Chain A
Amino acid sequence: MISSTIFIHPATWFLMGAVLLPFLNKRAGLKKGVLIAVPLIAFTVIHWLPDSFGQVSYMGFDLVFGRVDQLTRVFLHVFTVMAVIGCIYGLHVKETGQHIAAFLYVAGSLGVTLCGDYLTLFIFWELMAFASTFLVWYRKKRRSIEAGYRYLLVHTAGGLVLLGGIFLRYQNIHDLSFVQIAANGATFADYLIMIGFMLNAAVPPIHAWLPDAYPEASVTGAVFMCAFTTKTAVYVLARGFPGFEALAILGAIMTVYGVGYAAIENDARRILAYHIVSQVGYMVCGVGIGTAMAVNGAISHAYAHIIYKALLFMGVGAVLEMTGKSKLNELGGLYKQMPLAMIFTVIGGISISGFPFTSGFISKSMIIAAAGESHRIGLLLMMTLAAVGTFLSVGIKLPYFIWFGKDSGVRAKDAPWNMNLAMAIAAFLCFFIGIYPEYLYKMLPFPVNYHPYTAYHLSETLQILGFTGLGFYLMVKKLKPEPKINLDVDWFYRKGARVFMVFASRPVLSSDGWVNDVYRRIGFRLTMALAKAISWFDWEGIDWTIDGSARGVVECGNRVRSLMTGKIQHYIGGAIALTFIILIIVMLV
């Protein structure tokens, strides 16, 4: 049963690849073959998926590894395309560990996309967080190690909130299937789950992990990370929580918040990271509006965004790889040295800004139009303002200060062929989707009744972009990059942790010892005495007074009670253990 359907699951191939890779350390050619073959196989198998597969029943839980509908298919499509691009981009990387981490990370993301119940979701969810941490650590700088720990801690906290929500939900309705939750009937448990998802979608104020960790990740690691974590979160939000007002409002705030920071930051990869917050805001807002057109828009924007944001991270990553620099104040005038990277990055920049004939034009506008059709003018204006900021910060500022501006004297040459090939594929897709939007539209879960290429939409877009350019032209001196960082809400835990450490090291430690001491001397004896007295009364006193048979009844009751109370935790703990075992079997079958 399992063995026949196991190879349909695209994550299986990535897991097998991750197991195989360490043995290919000495065979560079074979290793590269595996790195290309695995995502290509995954991209192929997703076209043949049955509507439902991999159902495993365990102690009353129905684990569903494969639940396939239109929403699943479009995300699987873009995730596997992205895996192909990312693997080509990272082909030259010698550390096998990085490839393994990337494979496990992609497997986690595909597992979440395909799963049909919360337990399976949680396991793949944590696999993603765990594997991606290594993509940060593999940069091997002190800052990356620290940022990786913060990243892991924040995601562990988010995972616990999610798990808490799952437990509570199970307690309430005794059902773990992962389906849409009605906005008017949502309980506390559902909101906990939503918060867990929102953390991965980087919704402020729980977004700071993203601009903290992504700029410190390895060059190829950042390319993978920018695609999967947030967009998997968009998928689960679109699956579970369409039409939640909180998402619509927070999403619109996100768009402006992220782009504002992108306008003032100095590190190119941090600009792009903040800009992910902004872009995911459009998707979260679209999911929150919840109409068919808005959800369609959110999904098509996720598709388009994965490609062009990866393209931007690849372009900037190529500069970092070749020059060792990513701060705008240290770069400039590189167009003579790295013209290819420039062309590709500019294509990413105009796509993200939504130029006509690029993918951003046909996806972002769908969400904005959906906001307009739902008469949400506030959301519409915020998202349009964010579009202005997008062109300002990523469309113009970023390429200008890297490739033009003043000559920084940095000397470099264009990146290796595989990086350029990956960028070329992504750049091609940006134009392909922009020119031929039906390719994307026909994958969407709802029928599309939207035509991006109207005269008015063209006019609106050209005015916004043109006059944003004018704004940049007038203010270019004000935008001169400075070697500074900007505070964000991660201040609370980065500085707050110090206060906690001081507190923990002195008063808590000493009081802890003191309490322990008191407890050991007095408490322990008291407890023991009390326990003895109670047990004597319980067993001897009651039995003597009532009946000899009472003991039997009490014992039986105790047994049932312990079974009842321990049930859920044991079940879920056992289920998680079993899922891991199944995963291991999956890899070996």
Chain B
Amino acid sequence: MLLRILNYLNEHSRMLKRLFFAFLALTVVFDFYAARHAPHFFGDSIIGFWAVFGVLGCLGMIVVWKGLSHVWLAKEEDYYDK
């Protein structure tokens, strides 16, 4: 049964994509209504702050660390054996 569900989802990836974007929109809409008790800093009072933080943080992290890896850190797997 598990396999059938997974296969079904795999075949309907466009539907999943739409659901995913709908979910993203919903999280921001929800943020309008979420009560804010004792915000810790300015970001806590901006609607959608964590959405922007999430996407920029994710992209930034990939760019910075993948960049570091490419220009400096990455070595062949037998690097230490040589």
Q: List residues of chain A with CB under 8 Å of any chain B CB.
A: 259-261, 263-264, 335-336, 339-340, 343, 369, 372-373, 375, 377, 380, 384-385, 388-389, 392, 454-456, 458-460, 462-475, 478-479, 482-488, 494-495
A339 with B6: in contact, given A392-B61, A459-B34 (CB under 8 Å)?
Answer: yes
User: Would you give 23 A-B contacts (Cβ < 8 Å), ordered by A?
Assistant: A260-B64, A260-B65, A263-B65, A380-B40, A384-B50, A392-B61, A392-B62, A454-B35, A456-B35, A459-B27, A463-B27, A466-B27, A467-B27, A467-B58, A468-B57, A470-B58, A474-B59, A479-B66, A482-B74, A484-B75, A485-B75, A486-B74, A487-B74
Q: Could you say which of B31, B40, B44, B73 contacts A486, with CB atoms under 8 Å apart?
A: B73
The reply to whether B34 and A466 form a contact with Cβ atoms under 8 Å apart is no
CA distance in complex: A500, B52 (Å): 49
* Complex interface residues of chain B between 24 and 50 (CB less than 8 A to chain A): 24, 27-28, 30-31, 33-37, 40-41, 44, 48, 50
The reply to whether A464 and B62 form a contact with Cβ atoms under 8 Å apart is no
A-B interface, 4 closest residue pairs, ranked by CB to CB distance from nearest: A471-B58, A372-B40, A467-B54, A459-B34
The reply to whether A388 and B27 form a contact with Cβ atoms under 8 Å apart is no
A265 (CB) vs chain B CBs: closest residue: B69
A377 (CB) vs chain B CBs: closest residue: B41
Q: Could you say which of B27, B37, B72 contacts A487, with CB atoms under 8 Å apart?
A: B72
Interface size class of B (residues with CB under 8 A): 35 or more
Q: Could you say which of B36, B59, B66 contacts A264, with CB atoms under 8 Å apart?
A: B66
CA distance in complex: A468, B34 (Å): 20
The reply to whether B69 and A486 form a contact with Cβ atoms under 8 Å apart is yes
Chain A residues contacting B44 (CB-CB under 8 Å) are: 456
B80 at interface, CB cutoff 8 A: yes
A463 with B28: in contact, given A388-B61, A392-B61 (CB under 8 Å)?
Answer: yes
Q: Could you say which of B3, B6, B54 contacts A466, with CB atoms under 8 Å apart?
A: B54
Q: Could you say which of A373, A460, A483 contacts B77, with CB atoms under 8 Å apart?
A: A483
CA distance in complex: A456, B57 (Å): 20
The reply to whether B62 and A263 form a contact with Cβ atoms under 8 Å apart is yes
A339 with B35: in contact, given A263-B61, A460-B50 (CB under 8 Å)?
Answer: no
Q: List residues of chain B with CB under 8 Å of any chain A CB.
A: 2-3, 6-7, 20, 23-24, 27-28, 30-31, 33-37, 40-41, 44, 48, 50-55, 57-59, 61-62, 64-66, 68-69, 72-77, 79-80
A462 with B27: in contact, given A468-B58, A482-B74 (CB under 8 Å)?
Answer: yes
The reply to whether B54 and A388 form a contact with Cβ atoms under 8 Å apart is yes
Q: Could you say which of A384, A459, A465, A478 contacts B62, with CB atoms under 8 Å apart?
A: A478
Could you count the A-B residue pairs with CB atoms below 8 Å apart for me: how many are there? Answer: 149
Chain A residues contacting B76 (CB-CB under 8 Å) are: 484-485
The reply to whether B55 and A468 form a contact with Cβ atoms under 8 Å apart is yes
CA distance in complex: A482, B76 (Å): 10
CA distance in complex: A377, B40 (Å): 8
Chain B residues contacting A336 (CB-CB under 8 Å) are: 3, 6-7
A484 with B59: in contact, given A339-B2, A463-B28, A469-B20 (CB under 8 Å)?
Answer: no
How far apart are B30's CB and chain A's nearest CB, in angstroms? Answer: 5
A459 (CB) vs chain B CBs: closest residue: B34
The reply to whether A455 and B34 form a contact with Cβ atoms under 8 Å apart is yes
Chain A residues contacting B3 (CB-CB under 8 Å) are: 336, 339
Q: Could you say which of A456, A472, A478, A495 contacts B34, with CB atoms under 8 Å apart?
A: A456
CA distance in complex: A474, B33 (Å): 28
The reply to whether A373 and B62 form a contact with Cβ atoms under 8 Å apart is no
A454 (CB) vs chain B CBs: closest residue: B37
Chain B residues contacting A264 (CB-CB under 8 Å) are: 65-66, 68-69, 73-74
CA distance in complex: A377, B61 (Å): 19
Chain B residues contacting A343 (CB-CB under 8 Å) are: 2
How far apart are B38's CB and chain A's nearest CB, in angstroms? Answer: 8
How far apart are A257's CB and chain B's nearest CB, in angstroms? Answer: 10
Chain B residues contacting A372 (CB-CB under 8 Å) are: 40-41
The reply to whether A463 and B75 form a contact with Cβ atoms under 8 Å apart is no
CA distance in complex: A211, B20 (Å): 34
A456 with B62: in contact, given A372-B41, A487-B72 (CB under 8 Å)?
Answer: no
Chain B residues contacting A485 (CB-CB under 8 Å) are: 74-77, 79-80
Given contacts A263-B66, A494-B80, 8 further A-B contacts (CB under 8 A): A260-B68, A454-B37, A463-B54, A466-B20, A466-B54, A470-B24, A484-B69, A485-B76
CA distance in complex: A305, B79 (Å): 32
Chain B residues contacting A494 (CB-CB under 8 Å) are: 80
Chain B residues contacting A472 (CB-CB under 8 Å) are: 58
The reply to whether B30 and A484 form a contact with Cβ atoms under 8 Å apart is no
The reply to whether A486 and B61 form a contact with Cβ atoms under 8 Å apart is no
How far apart are B18's CB and chain A's nearest CB, in angstroms? Answer: 13
The reply to whether A388 and B57 form a contact with Cβ atoms under 8 Å apart is yes
How far apart are A314's CB and chain B's nearest CB, in angstroms? Answer: 18
Residue of A339, A454, A463 ringed by the most chain B CB atoms within 10 A: A463
CA distance in complex: A263, B59 (Å): 11
A486 with B75: in contact, given A343-B2, A462-B27, A464-B53 (CB under 8 Å)?
Answer: yes
How far apart are A18's CB and chain B's nearest CB, in angstroms? Answer: 33
CA distance in complex: A482, B64 (Å): 17
A487 with B50: in contact, given A377-B41, A455-B34, A479-B62 (CB under 8 Å)?
Answer: no
How far apart are B17's CB and chain A's nearest CB, in angstroms? Answer: 8
A475 with B59: in contact, given A459-B30, A466-B27 (CB under 8 Å)?
Answer: yes
The reply to whether A463 and B77 form a contact with Cβ atoms under 8 Å apart is no
Chain A residues contacting B53 (CB-CB under 8 Å) are: 384-385, 388, 463-464, 467
B1 (CB) vs chain A CBs: closest residue: A339
CA distance in complex: A339, B6 (Å): 9
Q: Could you say which of B23, B35, B41 contacts A380, with CB atoms under 8 Å apart?
A: B41
How far apart are B78's CB and chain A's nearest CB, in angstroms? Answer: 9
CA distance in complex: A148, B2 (Å): 40
Chain B residues contacting A479 (CB-CB under 8 Å) are: 62, 66
The reply to whether B59 and A456 form a contact with Cβ atoms under 8 Å apart is no
CA distance in complex: A472, B65 (Å): 14
How far apart are A205's CB and chain B's nearest CB, in angstroms? Answer: 15
B24 (CB) vs chain A CBs: closest residue: A466
Chain B residues contacting A470 (CB-CB under 8 Å) are: 24, 54-55, 58
A487 with B75: in contact, given A384-B53, A388-B54, A470-B24 (CB under 8 Å)?
Answer: yes
